[in-house]
Structure 1
Amino acid sequence: MTQTALITGASAGIGAEFARQLAASGHDLILTARRLDRLQAVANELSSQHGIRVHCIAADLAVPADVERLLADVLQLGWPVDLFVQNAGYGLPGRFHSEPMATHRQFIEVMMTSPLALIHGLLPGMRARGRGRIINIASLAGFMPGSDGHTLYGACKAFWVKVSESLSQENRSHGVRVLALCPGFTYSEFHDSNGSRPLVSKMPKWLWMQAKDVVREGLKAIEQDRIVYINGWHNRLIKAVVTTMPDRLARAFSARQSRRFRITKD
């Protein structure tokens, strides 16, 4: 039986790579992002290559009405969603006080509130069918001490680790698996969109992963019923070292490293 995957932030980066790998395995796709032209380009490529159905829905997750419309459109489409990849997101450079609170509210809407609303809307169908998969794209940043700049990013990613753990416990007896996928530095448009590309390009090459490897590992991890998965041996080593350090030393280490790739504005 053909399965359907819904992917947010599917027009580029990790989201587009999820679309490619799931299309290659025969999934029908529902793709959403703000840029319909980019989504349609991905859809045309994958439907012609793999003979699958692809439906595109333009939506801005910063707008609650768009999220409600997205859920309504998915239900009206009538393709039961077997896999939800919660991927859309961005980084907000600078220190907390340097941006208006409205900007932070928008960030929280995209990174936390809207994805929760989508999961809340999709879970009943998954539980009723006795099968479902939810992959929340968290980050290695969710395990690191807070840094100077990008104030809310690590906090949001830590949130998704904890939420995924709870959702897994609540839904596994109904056949629904939930994974927090935690990549580190990954080649994508992420750092171009927030202006940090010149800084992060100075990071050692061994710290970086390709999106295709992040996605491949994530799809394997959820089928293995993993709840939290950190991509890459180097990222797992970093997490192990930092979480076993005394807190004061870990914060000092994080502060020193974050100055190399965090944008700060007074």
Structure 2
Amino acid sequence: MSRRLVLITGASAGIGLAFARVYASHGWDVVVTGRRADRLEKLVEEIKLRFGVEAFAVPCDLSDPATPEKLMAAITALGRQVDGLVNNAGYSVPEGFVGNVWDSHRNFLQVLLHAPTELAHRVLPGMIERKFGRIINVASLAAYLPGSPGDTLYGPVKSYLLKFSQGLHLETRDHGVHVSALCPGWTYSEFHDVNGTRSKLSQSFPEWVWMGADEVAREGYLAAEANRAACVPGAPNKVVSAALKVLPDDWTLEFASNRLRKINR
């Protein structure tokens, strides 16, 4: 098989689904994974018919620590190797750190921190040996923001993904492997519907700051191809991320606190 293969986590909706279409449109075969098997199968059929590439659905739950190993074994059983990895799976845990049981936080850290790190570690040796690879870690504009109460672990984990991607970018750039962190801001997807913040956020932020998942995925793909260590899609988000790099922490902390109070009114 001459076509490259990309593995995309959290591909049943939103940015992950958009990435599957973007990669397929550029001639990549696709493995999509997530918990909703029916949606994955529907996406696989669409990709095959629309783009004429191979597509495979491997339903799994990344909150299970054994999943990354099983996922790689499933791909090996297909007789394939991973040339591209999009670590996209993610969600948020609102209602505060103490307001949730530890199991919720443990599962969150497994899905958003441990799983993407392990998957990258499992695919990188082969990429380096073959002198080709693409890894996109979907972080967030929150990686640049100060900590905020409520969804307490989200920002720190996204900051980790950004720094992790930058480190891997430097470590692998002389081996034909491109590693990039994608840091989108407000994006139209199911993310805010699932955590119950859609109505509040829609009222608190103007329409012009929001981006579509397709646009975000396209920019992420192009950034990885250009071997950019980080990509902040959308002009408003670029301005925000640039400003946060120079403003004092106490200013940005107060801004985050004021914004949260307005959202919660």
Interval of TM-score (by shorter of Structure 1 and Structure 2): over 0.9
2:162 is matched with 161
2:55 is matched with 54
User: Within the alignment, does 1:90 sit opposite 2:91 as a pair?
Assistant: yes
Question: What amino acid maps onto 1:251 in structure 2?
Answer: L
1:218 is matched with 220
2:128 is matched with 127
Gaps of 5+ in 2: none
Instruction: After TM superposition, give the deviation of residue 243 of structure 1 in Å.
Output: 2.6
CA 1:109–1:247 in 2, change beyond 3 Å: closer, same or farther?
Answer: same
Q: 3-state SS of the aligned residue for 2:33?
A: strand
CA 1:4–1:52 in 2, change beyond 3 Å: closer, same or farther?
Answer: same
Give the distance between the partners of 1:255 and 1:148, measured in 2 at CA: 8
1:3 is matched with 4
Give the distance between the partners of 2:180 and 2:53, measured in 1 at CA: 25
Instruction: After TM superposition, give the deviation of residue 241 of structure 1 in Å.
Output: 2.0
2:182 is matched with 181
Whether the aligned pair in 1 keeps the contact of 2:141 and 2:237 (CA below 8 Å) is yes
Give the distance between the partners of 1:57 and 1:262, measured in 2 at CA: 38
1:150 is matched with 151
Give the distance between the partners of 1:166 and 1:261, measured in 2 at CA: 35
Q: Alpha carbon RMSD of aligned pairs, Å?
A: 1.3
CA deviation vs aligned residue, 1:171-227 (integer Å, no higher than 9, x gap): 112111100000000000000111111111112101100111111111111111100
Question: What amino acid maps onto 1:47 in structure 2?
Answer: K
Give the distance between the partners of 2:140 and 2:121, measured in 1 at CA: 22
Q: Sequence identity, in percent?
A: 44
CA deviation vs aligned residue, 1:106-150 (integer Å, no higher than 9, x gap): 110001011111111111111111100000000000100111210
Structure 1 length normalisation: TM-score? Answer: 0.96
Structure 2 length normalisation: TM-score? Answer: 0.96
CA deviation vs aligned residue, 1:143-173 (integer Å, no higher than 9, x gap): 0011121000000000001100111111112
Give the distance between the partners of 2:262 and 2:176, measured in 1 at CA: 43
1:108 is matched with 109
Moved over 6 A (4+): none
Question: What amino acid maps onto 1:57 in structure 2?
Answer: V
Give the distance between the partners of 2:81 and 2:263, measured in 1 at CA: 41
Number of positions where the alignment pairs a residue of Structure 1 with one of Structure 2: 263
CA deviation vs aligned residue, 1:18-73 (integer Å, no higher than 9, x gap): 11111111111111001111100001111011111111101100001222211111
1:34 is matched with 35
Q: 3-state SS of the aligned residue for 2:83?
A: strand
Give the distance between the partners of 2:256 and 2:180, measured in 1 at CA: 26
Give the distance between the partners of 1:261 and 1:124, measured in 2 at CA: 45
Instruction: After TM superposition, give the deviation of residue 262 of structure 1 in Å.
Output: 6.5
Q: 3-state SS of the aligned residue for 1:97?
A: coil
Whether the aligned pair in 2 keeps the contact of 1:148 and 1:259 (CA below 8 Å) is no
CA 1:32–1:261 in 2, change beyond 3 Å: closer, same or farther?
Answer: farther
Q: 3-state SS of the aligned residue for 1:64?
A: coil
Question: What amino acid maps onto 1:145 in structure 2?
Answer: P
Whether the aligned pair in 2 keeps the contact of 1:187 and 1:211 (CA below 8 Å) is yes
Question: What amino acid maps onto 1:225 in structure 2?
Answer: N
Whether the aligned pair in 2 keeps the contact of 1:59 and 1:67 (CA below 8 Å) is no
1:17 is matched with 18
Q: 3-state SS of the aligned residue for 2:123?
A: helix
1:207 is matched with 209
Instruction: After TM superposition, give the deviation of residue 261 of structure 1 in Å.
Output: 4.1
Gaps of 5+ in 1: none
Question: What amino acid maps onto 1:219 in structure 2?
Answer: Y
Whether the aligned pair in 2 keeps the contact of 1:142 and 1:154 (CA below 8 Å) is yes
